[in-house]
Amino acid sequence: MIEQKKPHGCVVAFQRFFSGCLALIATGFLLIILIFLGSEVKIEGISLLVVAVSGFFILRYLWKKVVRKSVSNKDAFKSVFFDVLRTIAVLVLFSVIMTILMKNAGYEKEETTVTDDESSKTEIITTTEGDEVIRYIINKQYWKDFDGDWYRMNFKIAENSVQKSKVNREGYTYTRDFTWGKFYKHMADHDKPLLEHLYTSFSKIQQDKKMGRKKFAEFIITSIQNIQYNYIKSTPCDGNEDYPCVGNVRLGIFAPAEFGTNLKGDCDSRTVLLFVLLAKFNYDVAILNSDQYKHSVLGINLPARGKYKTHNRKKYYFVETTAKGCPIGYLPKDVSSLQYWDFVLVN
């Protein structure tokens, strides 16, 4: 009878250790996937249960294959080789399953490496509609909302609409009973029908992403917050401004269709455009100005937390429009005293 060769202790120990490490790596991978599917992709219910159960049986299979009894040196090395293949196969299979679930859930995560220079690209296209030739100004916008979700959308407005908007703004008569609220309403009412392509684009993304009411409002708000801030002055720029400046603009503001194409706006250029956009989708919004702070913000009547001001027994939460990532209800400390804010226009 031939004596079986005793396995080398180090080889067997290595095989057990290596198999255990692979099982631990797979366990961590599957747990991360489950957390990601639940929190980021928002997969829930039956789909998440199926994935969790599948992960459980996969882990059970992997751990069961961690050999604990003595084997020959040859079998130990073969076990290591097949453990590697088995683990890779499981990770690939589960990645495919995750990809399918993400697509079915409508999850599309944009690249987050968009720079400020790449966040907006402008082009002009000419189309024929009936007997009329129309030139459209298109700004390709890229931005992320408060949840970190990235979007891309064309800000498309007809060139002749921009001209009409400018003529209407510059033709407004400045009288002794001038108020900013009346002037804002004058521009908002005039430009509302000029922004149909914007409404359509926003609405399409809302439907594709199945956004709730608050998520959709934040989606629109962040699209404007993302735009580079500019000083808009009624006097010439002096060159000492700490932001880009556009001078000699009557009353120091661009109307909604103008700002929607040149993407150069200060606080009230932004609040008026947002006022028009959100009012179009039946949000209860307002514009609040502060003479003390020389600033303008949006107010929105939505469930939120943070700072708000009451009008007709309704809470309008402040929306800072001039900086990225400012959530509903947030006001910078240097403009945060509510006593200095007044409603100038409510829809």
pLDDT tens figures, 157-166: 999 999 999 9
Widest CA span of the chain, in angstroms? 117
Give the per-residue pLDDT at 113: 41
The mean pLDDT value for 302-329 works out to 93
CB 229 within 8 A of CB 271: no
Give the per-residue pLDDT at 130: 73
The string over 183-208, giving b where at least 16 C-beta atoms fall within 10 Å of a residue's C-beta and e elsewhere, is bbbbbbebbbebbebbeebbeebbee
- Single-letter amino acid, residue 342: D
Give the per-residue pLDDT at 64: 58
Band of pLDDT at residue 118, cut at 50, 70 and 90: very low
Give the per-residue pLDDT at 120: 52
Give the per-residue pLDDT at 124: 84
Give the per-residue pLDDT at 108: 45
Give the per-residue pLDDT at 119: 47
Residue 295 has pLDDT above 70, yes or no: yes
Give the per-residue pLDDT at 85: 72
For the entire predicted model, the pTM comes to: 0.67
Distance CA 272, CA 255 (A): 8
Place of tokens 């917050």: 225
Distance CA 101, CA 92 (A): 14
Helix (H, G, I), strand (E, B) or coil at 247: coil
Distance CA 227, CA 129 (A): 30
Instruction: Look at 28 and 312; give whichever has higher pLDDT.
Output: 312
Helix (H, G, I), strand (E, B) or coil at 337: coil
Report angle CA 102, 105, 109 to the nearest 5 degrees.
55
Give the per-residue pLDDT at 13: 63
Give the per-residue pLDDT at 49: 64
Summarize pLDDT for 60-83 with one digit per residue, the tens. 665 555 544 555 656 656 666 666
Contacts (Cβ under 8 Å, ≥6 apart) of 191: 161, 165, 168, 255, 256, 257, 276
Band of pLDDT at residue 116, cut at 50, 70 and 90: very low
Instruction: Look at 255 and 57; give whichever has higher pLDDT.
Output: 255
The mean pLDDT value for 142-162 works out to 92
Give the per-residue pLDDT at 169: 94
Q: Chain-wide mean pLDDT for the chain?
A: 81
Summarize pLDDT for 224-265 with one digit per residue, the tens. 999 999 999 999 998 888 889 999 999 999 999 999 999 999
Summarize pLDDT for 36-48 with one digit per residue, the tens. 665 555 555 566 6
Instruction: Look at 95 and 280; give whichever has higher pLDDT.
Output: 280
Residue 315 has pLDDT above 80, yes or no: yes
Radius of gyration of the chain (CA): 30
Give the per-residue pLDDT at 127: 82
Summarize pLDDT for 181-204 with one digit per residue, the tens. 999 999 999 999 999 999 999 999
Band of pLDDT at residue 114, cut at 50, 70 and 90: very low
The string over 215-228, giving b where at least 16 C-beta atoms fall within 10 Å of a residue's C-beta and e elsewhere, is ebbbbbbbbbbbbe
